[in-house]
Amino acid sequence: MLRVLMFAAVLLVAGGPVQAAERVRVGILKLTSSAPIFIGVEKGFFQEQGVDVELTFFRAAAPIATALAAGQIHVGATGLTAALYNIVLGGERIWIVADKGREWPGYPLTAIVVQKDLCDVKIAPLQAMSASLEALRGKQVDAILIPQPFPGVAEAQGHAKVLVWVGDVLPWQCCCVFYGKKLAADRERALAFMKGYVKASRYDYDAVLRQKDGRIQPGANHDEVVAITAKHTGASPDVIRVGFPYQDRNGRFPAEDIEKQMTWWVRHGFMKATIPRREIVDTSFVEAAIKALGE
């Protein structure tokens, strides 16, 4: 009886029974570049760190930034867009924290995909990646700029041809993981998520991204990573095998490239001003995760 009373007193002091930590909701697209997130979920790397991850799928990158600002998700894992920068410019707190894919020579990410019998294009913005593929199939547009696995799907279906992979001609940091203010303020949980992500990034890199003499050298877990990515993207394993985009093995990214991007957006009228790097980039989470896990 004494033990029961003491336990009840502890609960009263603590404000009630301990509640399970809220799930970390991750906004993401069904792309090959999302492989580390998929791996982290399937291999249990996030759960190892005490983080329960819930994937929320979107059809385009910009709405992920909007959902993050609204508190509907905790983490965004997608392309860097003017929408993201403008949300921060408007006063919201969003932090770019880790690599999630870059255009890089020898690694397929985004491709210009054209109809086989056409080579000239007229720019036509579309609202979703799947809509872009349908517009190309229906010959409503001549070409699309779209990331994997969609270029592989288009070629596999026989109605389109990859003209060029962007990374072969214009390397740049196009995709990142970013935290909303709620998760960023919870340092312990934010770091736990990042440790799971770094571990998954290493698994991904060792399985499908290592090169020798300019050629990919499949690792021991290559087929497993292909299968996991195919499961979550809905693309066939053969399409996924077309290739994975480059991502840093530890999740690091060139922060200076973020400043170059904002300068370009401002120059072309998509942003009114650039944002100081310290107000949008925070590499401390990934660096702390790498230190905790060991290089």
Per-residue pLDDT, 219: 95
The three-state (H, E, C) secondary structure of 130-151, written as one string: HHHHHHHHCCCCCEEEEECCHH
pTM of this prediction exceeds 0.85: no
| Domains, the chain, ordered by start | 24-102+172-293 (3.40.190.10), 110-169 (no CATH)
Q: What type of residue is 140?
A: Q
Strands 102-103 and 110-115: unpaired
Q: How far apart are CA 255 and CA 56, in angstroms?
A: 26
| HSE-CB for 193 with a 13 A CA cutoff | 27
From first to last of its 295 residues, the chain has per-residue pLDDT tens of: 445 444 444 434 444 433 456 799 999 999 999 999 999 999 999 999 999 999 999 999 999 999 999 999 999 999 999 999 999 999 999 999 999 999 888 887 788 787 766 557 566 666 676 778 788 888 888 887 777 777 777 888 887 888 777 777 778 888 999 999 999 999 999 999 999 999 999 999 999 999 988 888 999 999 999 999 999 999 999 989 988 999 999 999 999 999 999 999 999 999 999 999 999 999 999 999 999 999 8
